[in-house]
Amino acid sequence: MYNNSSLSSIVYGGIFMALTILFTYVFAIQTTFIRVDFAFIPICLYAMRFGTTKTIIMSALADIIGSNLFMPGLYFPGFTISAIASSFIYGKFLYKKTITLKKLLLMNLTIFSFVDCILNNIWLTLMYKDAATSFYIMRIVKSVLLLPIKAAILYNIYKPLRYFILKYNN
């Protein structure tokens, strides 16, 4: 039998999965090689509340479901690995931790260094060969410009929600 906390984590998982899909595929600026989205917001909020393992499951399912709903036939498992890696980093930096702007910048820099610069470029090169290499610089510039913006957005969302996140953490 499910207890209240497992039922609530399933319900919240579904809600945040839907938000992640919407922020990734509907409310995003998308080209072949560059996407600007705000999917990090629901993923980070979920990581603050439920931790690394549940966040990994939620974001992996959101990636698989979202790519099959909005880009049928274009699912590539490498990007699910990137979503898992990002979720792991979010969970380690945010779950039951004191959140500061400096910590958010470091978290986003870690994701930029490992996921954006390494993993995503590997996946794009596997998919598009030489065409992807011409967009590396543009993708890196986009990610560098978004580092402080993402940190500021998360910090400004966290501040008013801090009490509720800390109160209801498992």
- Place 164 in a pLDDT band, splitting at 50, 70 and 90: confident
- Place 61 in a pLDDT band, splitting at 50, 70 and 90: very high
Query: 164 lies in which domain range?
Result: 4-168
**Each residue of 17-47: pLDDT tens digit?**
999 999 998 998 887 777 889 999 999 999 9
Pick the more confident residue, 149 or 134.
Answer: 149
- Average pLDDT for the chain: 89
pLDDT at site 153: 95
> What total of structural domains would you count in the chain?
1
Residue 167: how many CB atoms within 10 A of its CB?
Answer: 7
Which residues sit opposite 30 in a β-bridge? Answer: 35
CATH code, 103: 1.10.1760.20
pLDDT at site 147: 93
Residue 140 pLDDT more than 60? yes
Residue 5 pLDDT more than 80? no
Spatial CA neighbour of 18 closest among 70, 72, 95, 53: 70
Q: CB of 79 within 8 A of CB of 67? A: yes
- Place 124 in a pLDDT band, splitting at 50, 70 and 90: confident
Q: Any idea of the CA torsion for 146, 164, 6, 78, to the nearest 10 degrees?
A: 0
